[in-house]
Structure formats: C-alpha cells, structure tokens
Structure 1
Amino acid sequence: MPETPTLVSAAPAGDWSSIGQVVGNASTSEFSFVLKSFRSRVGDLVAVKMDVPSSDYRGKNPTIYVWGRVTNITRYNPFFPYEAAQELAEEGLNLRDTILSDSRDQLEATVLILGCTPPDNAKTVFPLTYPVQPAATVFYPPAAWAKELLAGSLTGTPLQVGTLIARSDVDVNLSADRLVSRHLAILAMTGGGKTVAARRILRELIVAGYPILIFDPHGDYLGFSQKQALFADRKIKLFFPYLTMSAGSRSIVEKLIAKMTQGISDPQREYIAELMAGIEPRAGTPVRQYIGSLLAELGSRISAPRDKRQLPTMYAVRRALNQVDQYLSRMELTNDRMRATFARKGLTGFDQLPDPNGSPEQIIAPKQVSILYLGGYDQLTQCTIVSILMESLFEHRAAMTDAIPPFATFIEEAHTFIPSNREGAEDAPSVDTLRKVITEGRKFGTGLVLITQRPSRVDETILSQCNSFLVLRLVNPKDHSFVRSVMENMSDADARLLPGFGPGQGIVSGQAVRFPLLVQIRKDDDLMFTELGDENFIEQAQKWKPPAAAAGRASSREATKKLAAIPTRKAKK
C-alpha cells in the first residue's frame, strides 16, 4: 500500500488517494506516471511525496510535496498489437470472438512540475532542485489542498473566474490588484467565450466597486444597464460619443485635425493656432459648432485676404476643418440612428459623453461603470475617439491631481484599436496612445484589458506588455504562433489544446495567477441580455414588407413595363 501523505494541523484537511506510479526518466521539470483508469484527466493537479537532500547535505533529508499539472495522457494496449487490428479489419471479425484482450489498457500521463511545498503548508512554493523519484506514488490531492496551493500568491481582492477544467470543486481566482495594474489579454475565436469571460471579470470588479471604462463597438456590454438591480449601489452609465469644448481649451480641435486628416505642415498648424486664438470657446460648446465658427471666419479671410501668399495655407486649413466636420457629422447621424434602434428594444438612458478634460469625474468614478458604445462608426472615427478620451484620462492620472481614481479600461475588438503594422497601424490614432498607457499605466493606476478574436492582427509590442493572459479556443495557425511568441510560459502541450477547447474553456497564465492553469469560465446566466441577442435575419427577411411609398413606386414601374410590352398599331398609310 502506498504511504498516504501525513497531514498536520496547519494544513487543510481532505482525503488523499493514490492514482499511479512514476515511470521512466523523471527530471526537475517533468515526469510521467502510469495512471489508474478513470482517476485523472488532462488539467488535473497531482502531487508526489518525496525526500530531497538537506541544505548542508549532512542533516536529515526533508520531505516535500512535488506539485504538477497533467498535460497529456496516452492510452495503449500492449496485448492488442497492430497486426491483430489489421487481421480483424481484413477478415471482418469481432474482437469478442478471439482470444485477444480489450480490457488491458494502460494509461501514461505526462506531468508538468509546478513547484514543491513543505508537507504542512501548501501556500509556500519553491522550485524543485532534485528530480522526482521513479516508482514514487502519485496522489490525487483533496480540493482543500488544491485551493490553498492556487490561492497562496494572491494578494488583495480575489476575482473568481471559474474552476479547473478537470475539477469543478477547485476554484480559479485571479489577483485583482495585478489584473488592473499590469494588464490582461483575453484571446479567443468567435464563439470561444471571450465575452463570457470578460463579463465574469467585469462582474467581480463591479462588485468590488472598482471604476471601469468599456469601449464597446458592437453593444455586447450595453445590457449591463438592464441588470442594474444586481449591483446594489453601483452605477452603470451608457454614453455615446459627443465631443464638446472646454473653457479656454482648443486642444481637442488640434487633436482631431492631427488624427482625422493626413497631417498638416508647420505653417498650417501655426495658422490654425492663430485662427483659434481669435475665437474663444465656451465650456460645453459642441466641437462641430466651434469648427463652424472657424470655417466662417476662415471664409471671410479667404474672400478678402490681407496677404495673398497665405491663400494656399488657408485653403489647406479649410480642407482639414471640412474633413473633420464631415467625420463628426457622420458620427452624429449614426448616433441618432443607434439610439432609435436601441430605444425600440427598450434600452434607453444614453447620455452624451462628458468632456474628458473638464469633467473627467463624470466618466471615471468609484462604483461606476461607464460604457461607451461605438457601433456604427468607421475605424478611423472609433480610433480617434478612443485616442482622445484615453489621452485625457491618462493625463489626469499622470498629473497626480486626484481628479479621477485609478481605473480599468476594457477594449473589445482590440485589433481595431491597436492593429499591427501589417494591418495599418499608421492609420489608427489610438495605437500610440494605448502603447503609452500600457507601458506607463502601471505607475499611475491605469490598467487595460484587451479582448480580441484575432490576436495575430494586434500590435505585438502592446500585447506583449500584458502580464496576464486568458486564452480560450483558437483555431487559426497564425493566431497560435503569435500567441506562443508573446506568451513565454505556454508549453507545446498547452498550445496543442487550444483548438479543442469548448466554449468558456481555456488557459490562464501570468502574474494574475500562481501557475498556468486550464480553466472553465463560470457563465453568468443572469447577465444574459435577451433584448440584445443575435438578430434572426432569416425570419426578418421572411416577414419583411416594403414601405408604402416603395410599394407604390414598384407598382408604377410594373405598370410601365406592361404598357411597354403592348404592341402598338402601325399607322395607316
């Protein structure tokens, strides 16, 4: 009988069970063992009790527990050779009609060593420096021990995201402090569960009262406002982009011109500054209204120039201002349509986005979630809004003025806002802004959570700055290789699991957890948004009827065709 690990009063209780024996060559990083049938699965935590040399090599050899995660299991039957299978297939025989055995399967599991602990404290983990003993007994640890092992390095508020894939009785928690300060990337293909994972993390942060800003291009998170009752005194606010002027500040117009145009020369920039200096904006003045005032003044100057040599510069400035005005006009029109569409679904309560320079506290506040819906806008407009807003908020944090508290920003469809160079990063104004935030945000309490279904299209420098990763199902080979390049601690065995994950299953690793783990994300059914579900376009097309005016025009066209088809009588000679 294998020796069961001895529990002391300081260790968590629970029953240990033997599930196999170590075989083959064992090292300080990996070992294999023959597994009893139906006693473990890939992703399970296992432990081996063994002695290691004392620190001075003269004292009593201390006993430790070596902890590992099952990364692979192979199954074979030595009593059923290939030749027998070939013969059965060729002759069409039933295995039961032969003397061959189909019940002598052997399971061999490969284990990645996570570290080792003293026998009385699963929280204190240190690296293994002596190889695992062959023929040692492998144990299946109780849930209490596994939980203590995983929770040992968590500081501050834990965020409960799910359980181990192989053990529903062992919770997986993330360190909230490390998540919001050192950035997280959630990577998964469509349908892989990235939005479910993001909602789970959001829920935990909302309960903790942490300030949150969400950039939502598709409306995936708007339904949080419908679940306000689930979050007690927390505020969930919906915003649509609406840019206004701050008192005495004209920088927003300069930023719009720089980000929405192909760029202007130094003389043109100086002329714009001189033009704006003569028109003082008032707080709350819409940016388009202020640009209209600039265009009116510029038109007067062009019609009666004091120096005709400045006409080329004035024309260039007018083109730039008109281009910005057209972009903003399109944005406002989309806003009107968006609000009308969501109002028909019962989702109301959208507010204009407050001025991030003059009123940042209306966007970022304790116990508040601010969701900025960006649906319907082209990529340039979305990136410009994100760039301007994040620049302003980050400047408030970097200035240490206490205008706003630390906050976390969730960026859905991150490949839109931080595309790689081959995807056109030069056309996305938000790239430089978010690169600065993710590089320096840790010092100023400005964390990012990047969510994308195409990680290979994201700027590699920015994604590699994330200290934690939650990777769910990925099938695209380019995404596989890219994730491996930015995740230093992803093993080959873990990478091979990515295509086979089910919805909500994945690998979490980095500073937010103690070890890389296979996790089953908890699905929050009470946060499902029924009114904002997938559209049934087939049903809509089947029930669609043209408007009355369009139907009238169609009838008129049909009548014209019928008349044209009637043969005309030839005139008599």
Structure 2
Amino acid sequence: MATDLSVTTAPAAWSSDGRTFTCTTELVEAPAPGDVVVLEPSPGQQLLAQVRASSPLPGGEGRFGGGGQAVQASGVVLGPLDASGGPTSAPVQPFASAVLRPASAPHLEALQRARGAGLEVGSWHSGDVEVPARLRAGGFNRHTFLCGQSGSGKTYSLGVVLEQLLLHTALRMVVLDPNGDFVRLGQVRPGAPGEASERLAANDIRVLRPEAGGGDPLRLRFRTMPRAAQAAILRLDPMHDRAEYNLFLHLDESYYEKGLGPMVTRLRAGEDDERAMAQRIENLGLLDWEAWAGELTSAAEVVAGGARATVMDLGGFRDPLEPQAVALDVVESLWAQRESRTPTLIVVDEAHNLCAAQPRGPLQTALTERLVQIAAEGRKYGLWLLLSTQRPSKIHPQVLTQCDNLMLMRMNSPGDLAELGAVFGFAPEQMLRSSPFFAQGEALFAGGFVPAPMLARMGARITQEGGSDVAVPLP
C-alpha cells in the first residue's frame, strides 16, 4: 500500500497482508534490523512485530520536515498482544496505518515466555532495551549449526548452551571434543551461582580421555562394530580389495572376539588372502593403537550405560585415525540403538574434522556418511546434531542443509555469509550481514530454538572452560 511521504509527519506503518509490515521514519528514529516493536493500528489494538530490514529511501532527505534522511523499514508481525503483553496466534487483518513504537522489556519477556523460551544464555538487546536472552529447549529437537571464526567466543558460548541444556532438560549428550575444550564441563567454577552449580554437579557427566590411567579411558571395541565400520578401520575397499574384503565379510566372529592380536596370529597361519590381511593389519600399525578397549569399557558402552553426558576428549592419540575410529564406534552404536528413541544430542565440535565436505580416507568417509544419515533421518528417532565449526563450507552440505537452528558469531568472510544466507533462509539477511562487526561473545540466534531472530551477548559460564589459547610471552 503506497504512502505519500511528502505529507508524512510521523512514523507510519502499514500491512497489506497482516503478516508483514512496512514503515517509514527518520533515520535517527529508525528501528534497526532485529528490533522488536509494537504497532497500534487502532485504539486498543496492539501488535508485536519485528523489524527485519531497513534502507534509506532515495531522495528522502528532508521528507519529515527537517534535514534528516527518510528510511523505510520492513518486518514481520509476530501476533496480537494479549493481556500479559505476549503475542497470540490469532490472525491479523491488513491495516492502512499504525503507530509504531519500540517494544518494552515486559514485551520482550512476554514474547519469550509465550514461545516457551526458558534457557537463559545471555542478554538480548532490542533498541535501548535489554533483557535476558532465552532459548527454547524444545527447539533442540532439530539439528543446530554454530559457526564463528577464531576468536569469536564460539567454544565458550557453546559451553554456555550445553550448561543450560544440562540444567533444564533431560537430554542425553554425547560431546565429540577434539581439543579438550569441554573436559571440565562437570567442574563448577569458583563464584558460580550456588543452586545452579549444585544441580549441574549432580549430573552424571563422564569425561573419557586417551591416556591410560588418566581417569575414564576413551576406547572402542572392534568386535561389536558393524562389518562396514570394521572394514573402514582396516581400509578395505569392497572393489579394489575384492578378495580380502570378501574374506573379511565371511570371517567367523571367533577370529576377532579376543582382539586384533590373536586375529593376526590366526590369519598368519592361513591361506594367501588370510596372510595378506594379517600383513595389512600389521602394516597399518593397528596393533599399536591405544584405542582398543580390551578388558576396559568402551565409549559406546559408557553412553549406552546411561551416562547423562559423555565428553570424549579426542585429542592425544598417537595415530590421527584413532579419534575418527572411536567417534565412528559411538555414532554407529547410537544409530544401531535408534529404535529405543532415547532423546540424544550429539555435539560435534570442530565438526569439519568428523563431518567433512570432502571426506578423506575410508574412516572419515564412513563417519561422514553415518552423520549424513543421522542428519536426514535421526530426528524421528530422537538423535539430534549440534555442529560447531569456523566455516560452513567445510561441513558436508547434506548435513548443513538439514540444520534448522543457526547460532552465528563473528564471521568476516563474505563468501561464508553468502552461503549461510542461502542455506538458512529464515535468518534475516541484514542481521546476518552485521556478523563481521560482532564483538567477542555476541551471536545471532535464528530458527526454531528462539522465539524470534535475536542478537545476543552470551553470559558467563557456570563450569570451567577446558581449553584456552596459548598467550604470547612478554618480557
């Protein structure tokens, strides 16, 4: 609906469909993308809305009677306000004119309450108003993507989110942690709030590490893995290594039920193909891996045993393929037990290492293919991914496109922001474009786990951060 700007003397808003709105105002009074506003189409009628875009009007200088620049802003109508100040789902009729004013703190609080957002992760700024920023716990039944360049506060912020999920949900968590950043997730920091600290410390949080004798060991069990996963560890290709692969498929389980060592001894005494497989295992150095469980409990068994959260410190193995093998064992186990429909959040930090856009080698390929399947089919079984990385282009596209939640921190690359805009169409473009100017710890949340797209500053951790950068020594 057109508006004659030449006679406009105050901010005006209109809607042709009751779902979106447009307003004109002066630059100094214009709400920014992400700001929540209240629209009043008629006396006694109030609508909550959010600005998603704004731009100067060509030739709009002085259109409001002064020397200022006229701005046109547009956004979405969130719903009519009820007695509590929160939006309802009642339909809204088109309107020709509405008074626009900034939303108050009670409006923002009522919006979050109405949409079931209760996980407090920091502070939400809308115009001059600041309230606690809260996520919807129910929104984590979709896959989530967290992205931010080095130094943006990504790892610290992920810890804030995981703490809130531990405090306010019964989700089982499996954290694939390549840098040891979450190994202290169960250790409360000094000065943390007492009640929250006690509740968090009461959770059964298991931390598994590679080092023998360093607490719970991080191990895998070869004999319980699916044959395809076992073949990936042996780097057997079904076509290139036809004879060996076929022999392996038909091996009796008694060959490897006591481990790879006895298996190699038995294969050495066999025919040519059996001896070739024994040589393969020895040449790959698999007998020297630290990751074999033996008489110990495997990571998959810890998860299946009912631990509330299992943090797997994947760093520290001598062979770089061992972390991939342990992760594959756990992911395969979760998929094999999917019919139990146990709600489980699979957190993959530095996800490009385990879910690469272009996987290299049989192990990474097998792991990526299983994560792709979980991304496509896991939601109906209660298996949900939370992927964290620095660049979206490094993540397999069939996983990235299945994510319905976005948490974006500082990102300078125009190419990466363009890709995020193409994949996450629900994230307002102008809010995405503000990412290069985020301070450390600031984030854009969009998707089903927030009541509306929000720009937030992350709050303080309750537990201690596991890893940190090495500082430059000064004289």
Aligned length: 438
Asked if 1:213 is matched to 2:149, the reply is no
**Higher Cα radius of gyration:** 1
**What is the CA deviation profile of residues 474-505 of structure 1, one whole-angstrom value per residue up to 9, with x for unaligned ones?**
11122112111210223331232121111222
Asked if 1:113 is matched to 2:76, the reply is yes
Residue 332 of structure 1: CA displacement? 5.4
Task: Tell me how far apart the structure 2 counterparts of residues 352 and 42 of structure 1 sit (CA, whole Å).
Answer: 54
Q: Which residue of 2 aligns with 1:124?
A: 88
3-state SS of paired residue (2:165): helix
Task: Tell me how far apart the structure 2 counterparts of residues 132 and 470 of structure 1 sit (CA, whole Å).
Answer: 36
| Equivalent position to 2:207, from 228, 235, 238 | 238
Asked if 1:329 is matched to 2:305, the reply is no
Q: What are the within-5 Å matches in structure 2 for residues 43-54 of structure 1?
A: 43-51=34-42
Q: What are the within-5 Å matches in structure 2 for residues 534-553 of structure 1?
A: 534-536=469-471, 538=473
Aligned pair in 2 of structure 1 residues 224, 63: CA closer, same or farther (>3 Å)? closer
> Does the CA contact (< 8 Å) of 2:443 and 2:456 recur in 1?
yes
**What is the CA deviation profile of residues 55-83 of structure 1, one whole-angstrom value per residue up to 9, with x for unaligned ones?**
xxxxxx9944251226447699958xxxx
Asked if 1:373 is matched to 2:324, the reply is no
Runs of 5+ consecutive residues of structure 2 not aligned to the other structure: 1-8, 190-196, 211-217
| Equivalent position to 1:257, from 221, 231, 234 | 231
Q: What are the within-5 Å matches in structure 2 for residues 166-185 of structure 1?
A: 166=126, 169-179=130-140, 181-185=141-145
Question: Is the deviation greater in 270-279 or in 442-451?
Answer: 270-279
Task: Tell me how far apart the structure 2 counterparts of residues 235 and 46 of structure 1 sit (CA, whole Å).
Answer: 43
Match for 1:175: what amino acid?
Answer: R
Q: Which residue of 2 aligns with 1:477?
A: 414
Q: Give me the TM-score of the superposition, normalised by structure 2.
A: 0.80
CA RMSD for the aligned pairs? 3.6
Asked if 1:388 is matched to 2:379, the reply is no
Match for 2:134: what amino acid?
Answer: N
3-state SS of paired residue (1:255): helix
Task: Tell me how far apart the structure 2 counterparts of residues 266 and 251 of structure 1 sit (CA, whole Å).
Answer: 21
**What is the CA deviation profile of residues 499-524 of structure 1, one whole-angstrom value per residue up to 9, with x for unaligned ones?**
11112222211111232222222232
Q: Give me the TM-score of the superposition, normalised by structure 1.
A: 0.67
The structure where strand makes up a greater share of residues is 2
| Equivalent position to 2:274, from 314, 335, 345 | 314
Asked if 1:143 is matched to 2:105, the reply is yes
Residue 354 of structure 1: CA displacement? 2.4
> Does the CA contact (< 8 Å) of 2:221 and 2:298 recur in 1?
no
> Does the CA contact (< 8 Å) of 2:41 and 2:99 recur in 1?
no
Residue 414 of structure 1: CA displacement? 0.9
Asked if 1:498 is matched to 2:435, the reply is yes
3-state SS of paired residue (2:337): helix
> Does the CA contact (< 8 Å) of 1:22 and 1:34 recur in 2?
yes
> Does the CA contact (< 8 Å) of 2:291 and 2:326 recur in 1?
no
Q: Which residue of 1 aligns with 2:6?
A: none
Task: Tell me how far apart the structure 2 counterparts of residues 385 and 492 of structure 1 sit (CA, whole Å).
Answer: 39
> Does the CA contact (< 8 Å) of 2:345 and 2:384 recur in 1?
yes
> Does the CA contact (< 8 Å) of 2:60 and 2:71 recur in 1?
no
Task: Tell me how far apart the structure 2 counterparts of residues 168 and 214 of structure 1 sit (CA, whole Å).
Answer: 35
| Equivalent position to 2:49, from 67, 70, 93 | 67
Aligned residues with identical type, % of pairs? 18
Task: Tell me how far apart the structure 2 counterparts of residues 353 and 33 of structure 1 sit (CA, whole Å).
Answer: 65
Match for 2:312: what amino acid?
Answer: L
The structure where helix makes up a greater share of residues is 1
> Does the CA contact (< 8 Å) of 1:63 and 1:119 recur in 2?
no
Task: Tell me how far apart the structure 2 counterparts of residues 254 and 42 of structure 1 sit (CA, whole Å).
Answer: 49
Match for 2:177: what amino acid?
Answer: D
Q: Which residue of 2 aligns with 1:295?
A: 264
Aligned pair in 2 of structure 1 residues 254, 517: CA closer, same or farther (>3 Å)? closer
| Equivalent position to 1:465, from 397, 402, 419 | 402
Greater RCO, 1 or 2 (C-alpha within 8 Å, sep 6+): 2
Match for 1:480: what amino acid?
Answer: L
Task: Tell me how far apart the structure 2 counterparts of residues 210 and 518 of structure 1 sit (CA, whole Å).
Answer: 26
Aligned pair in 2 of structure 1 residues 127, 463: CA closer, same or farther (>3 Å)? farther
> Does the CA contact (< 8 Å) of 2:209 and 2:312 recur in 1?
yes
